[in-house]
Structure 1
Amino acid sequence: MKYRWTSVAWSIAYLLLLLSLSTPFLIITTLFMIIPAALLFTTLNTRQFILTIVPVWLVLGLISPFYILIAAYLIVPALVMGRRYKKKATASSTIFAGTITLLGEFLLLLLLGKTLFQFDLYSYVYDVLNEMRTMALSPMQEFGMGSFLGGSSEDLSNNSRAFIQVIPMALIMSSFVITVITHSIVRPILNSMGYAVPKLKPARDWRIPKSFIWYYLIATVIQLLFFKSDNSFMVMITANLVPLLRVCFIIQTIGFFFFIAHERNWNRIIPVMLAVMAIMLPPLWIIGIIDLVVPLREMVAKSKR
């Protein structure tokens, strides 16, 4: 893409998204924060990209230096994904690279906060949960119903620890979701501009390695052994690993639904509805395990013949 009005339009979108971080819309806009920079880096040469980004950063700097730090933080995964697009890398490798980059930045941010600013994550979570509890408790107490929302400090402390234990999974899922959303929007836009970008495999071809079954069994056994253990490290690992593996099995289940729909020539809405059910009804992930253990897809294909 030559340096034209579309570049200016995306730079304005980039500026507005960064400014939205100071508004209540940040929960939504954060999901799309990487898109403009990734598009600009992919479609412009290095000189044009710098000429487009620098004015945005100058405007942000005039408002608050904080925006510059956020922009620098978020531009890294955009550059990583943009570079993969330029190389015409596979969609899965691009998503993986973007996810790892975002996750690494999240972890680096926590590390810097701990070492440089003595940021205590446990105290922060405890204070937030306590404040939420107080806000919910105050109006109830006016009607003499405060006992329903009671809870000791020990309960609050346990909830804080439980919340912290699942933060790794939350960071992984957040990084993955942001990257997938970015790719889902950037790829068709680039294709419309004449840039051939590989797409993900069809949902019917989604399959995970069979070894994930063993990982899940091992993680489940460890979780049972350390359920009431004082070893917080092992508890944290299993508290994150088991749910993540279940997410993988849900992906396998969705892949099976789309496969059978394709083989049986079902209406397209049917596998979509089944996929939603697989996400909303957790027990359905067992179908993904069965699909890994038993060659269900081969059986479906064979019966069709």
Structure 2
Amino acid sequence: MKSRSTALLWTGAYLLLILSLLTSLSMITAFLLIVPVIVLYNILSMKKFLTHVVPVWLIAFIIHPVYLLLALYFVIPAIVMGRCYKKRASALRTIVIGAATILVEMLLLLFIGTVLFQFDLSGYVQDMVNVAVKPMQEMVGNSALTKDFVLTKEYMDSLMNMTVQRIPFALILSSFMISIITHAIVRPILGRMGYTTTRLKPVREWMFPRSLIWYYLLGVIIEIMALSSESSYLTMISANLVPTLNIFFCIQAMAFFFFVTYHRKWHPVVPFLLAIPVFLFPPMAIIGIIDIAFPLRQMMTKSK
């Protein structure tokens, strides 16, 4: 009886999250919609799972067909991650598979929209940039700031081009963010329900493969080549590869701070304070590069 009421509560939460997707809360609920599906998938058999989610989809379709499309979009990564939890896959594998599934879905939708519906992503982004900048243009008017630097046509064109070029980076980052947030919420929930789940290693033990450094060098070379080339593909790769790798190096630097704090027995708040400037100033990601390239941790823990 208790498990049945729990399933009904999660089904109700799932319906509410779906109905909130076309409201101002969509930016928040989009990161949470996968959670109830994963929970239901793990606590119920496949037959009972369908008896809970299918009525939700029917209600969503009756209210507005778009709700059903959005629900079906998010249910695929939810089931993929749910299977990982059922098979007791490692936390990192679950997060990566979930993020990869979400990313593939995004790219597939973008491809379908472009081919079948002639959706112009570049034009859409430019319109969004214009909408965002227009209030600033009206505020500054014909001031010297507008004429000399901030809102000149050259600056606007550069901003739009940079925004369009960074779309792959934004898709990758958002996919991992959704997957990480989902795991952070689902794992303790399933744990409290008595289901065995794996957790990530402590942050101080994180260590990315050394091959990332070679990818970074390749990205820098491509970035240099793009400066003297008119190839849009080189420009697109250089605009996304290096920033993506910088995220990994920033995380590695943060892991190094946690490692040092643990072994030096510093206050637990220290690594968080040290990590803030690393994420605010990307060049400081070199700390993560050094941590991967050299055995700093072994030298610190080696007995005198």
User: TM-score w.r.t. structure 1 length?
Assistant: 0.93
- Residue 184 of structure 1 corresponds to 184
Q: Does 1:201 align with 2:196?
A: no
Q: Which amino acid in the other structure matches residue 94 of structure 1?
A: T
Task: Give the SS at the match of 1:226.
Answer: helix
**Residue 253 of structure 1, CA deviation:** 0.8
Query: Residues 192-222 of structure 1, C-alpha deviation per residue, up to 9 Å, x if partnerless?
Result: 0000100001101111111111111121022
Tell me which residue corresponds to 1:27: 27
Give the secondary structure class of the aligned counterpart of 1:251.
helix
Q: Secondary structure at the match of 2:20?
A: helix
Given residue 125 of structure 2, which amino acid in structure 1 is its aligned partner?
Answer: V
What is the deviation of 1:42?
1.4
For the Cα contact (< 8 Å) 1:39–1:186, is it kept in 2?
A: yes
Stretches of structure 1 lacking an aligned partner (at least 5 in a row):
none
Q: Distance in 2 between matches of 1:251 and 1:131?
A: 34
**SS class of match (1:195):** coil
Task: Read off the aligned partner of 1:210 and give its amino acid letter.
Answer: R
- 1: CA distance between counterparts of 2:178 and 2:50? 24
| Unaligned 5+ runs, structure 2 | none
CA contact (8 A) 1:138 1:146 kept: no
2:289 counterpart letter in structure 1: I
Over the matched positions of the two proteins, sequence identity in percent amounts to 45
Mean alpha-carbon deviation: is it higher for 38-47 or for 174-183? Answer: 38-47
Residue 280 (structure 1) aligns with: 280
1:168 aligns with 2:163: no
Query: Cα RMSD between the aligned structures?
Result: 1.8
Please state how far the C-alpha of 1:98 moved relative to its aligned partner: 0.1
1:108 equivalent in structure 2: 108
Q: Deviations over 1:35-71 (max 9, x none)?
A: 1111111111101111110121111111100100000
155-164 or 71-80, larger mean C-alpha shift = 155-164
| Structure 1 position 237 matched with structure 2 position 244 | no
Q: Secondary structure at the match of 2:288?
A: helix
- Judge conservation of contact 1:126–1:156 (CA < 8 Å) in 2: no
Deviation, 1:85, is 0.3
Structure 1 residues 284 and 159, CA gap change in structure 2 (3 angstroms):
closer
Number of aligned positions between the proteins: 301
Equivalent residues in 2 for 1:219-230 (5 A)?
A: 219-230=219-230
Instruction: Give 3-state SS (helix, strand or coil) of 1:196's partner.
Output: coil
Tell me: CA distance 1:253–1:150, structure 2 relative to 1, closer, same or farther (3 Å).
closer
Whether the aligned pair in 2 keeps the contact of 1:187 and 1:199 (CA below 8 Å) is yes
Which range is displaced more, 177-186 or 224-233?
224-233
Distance in 1 of aligned mates of 2:157 and 2:143 = 23
Aligned residue for 1:119? 119
CA contact (8 A) 1:3 1:48 kept: no
